[in-house]
Amino acid sequence: VYLKSIEADGFKSFANKVDIKFDSGLTAVVGPNGSGKSNITDAIRWVLGEQSARSIRGVKMEDVIFNGTDSRTPMNAAKVKLQLDNQSRTLPVESDDVNIMRKLYRNGDSEYFINDERTRLKEITELFLDSGLGKNAYNIISQGEVESLLKARADERRVLIEEVAGVMKYKKRKKESVKRLEETKDNLNRINDIIQELT
Ligand code: ATP
């Protein structure tokens, strides 16, 4: 899967509809301070279902809607649409392109779409589960995160490396299996007690 384009309309500083296309390979976004570079990554996090306004540098969710400048009036809604290349079928959808869209209106109403069909946040979260994408995957690394990783203790760093490597999933399954083994041992003991009583 790779990101083909981001369309933003009314999201943060994008008062005019922007359509940013990405080719496979490396893309660099350059611009002066405050010109909206980080707003692009915020848009990606947001459309993937981010529910915390703070994670996208706001106080309340409404802060993602363009709130006007000296020369422009505020907008009533924010919209972001991602287009992903799914030729590899990494996402469990039978289409070469998958688009994800999120809209938020000032009255608090919010809408999600997968391939232009209205859906729920849950469906979007599930779509990205185990795909290595999604808002909790380490696709977007902010400046602060690099610093905190460098400053972290060895055991804290290990947790993150295990998460990225996908080891966490197996650790969780191992814990569940060990618990089931213990329960089975207890059951066996109980059965042996009953057999002893009967013989
Ligand atoms: P830096 O290099 O300093 O990190 P940047 O290019 O990443 O800057 P961003 O932080 O993405 O810039 O953009 C910040 C700009 O977005 C600010 O000018 C801010 O006023 C504007 N902005 C953020 N939210 C909104 C909003 N809801 N409406 C209008 N403008 C907004």
Domain definitions of the chain by residue range:
2-134, 156-198
Does the C-beta of 34 come closer than 6 Å to ligand 1? yes
Helix (H) or strand (E) holding 114: strand 110-114
In the predicted model, is pLDDT for residue 142 greater than 90?
Answer: no
Going from the Cα of 57 to the center of ligand 1, the distance in angstroms, rounded, reads 9
CA angle 84, 88, 93 (to 5 degrees): 65
CA distance 92 to 131: 9
Instruction: Give the percent of the chain with pLDDT over 90.
Output: 71
The ipTM of this complex is 0.93
Going from the Cα of 62 to the center of ligand 1, the distance in angstroms, rounded, reads 15
Thinking of the domain 2-134, which architecture would CATH place it in?
Answer: 3-Layer(aba) Sandwich (3.40)
| Residue-wise pLDDT tens digits, 58-103 | 999 999 999 999 999 999 999 999 999 999 998 989 999 999 999 9
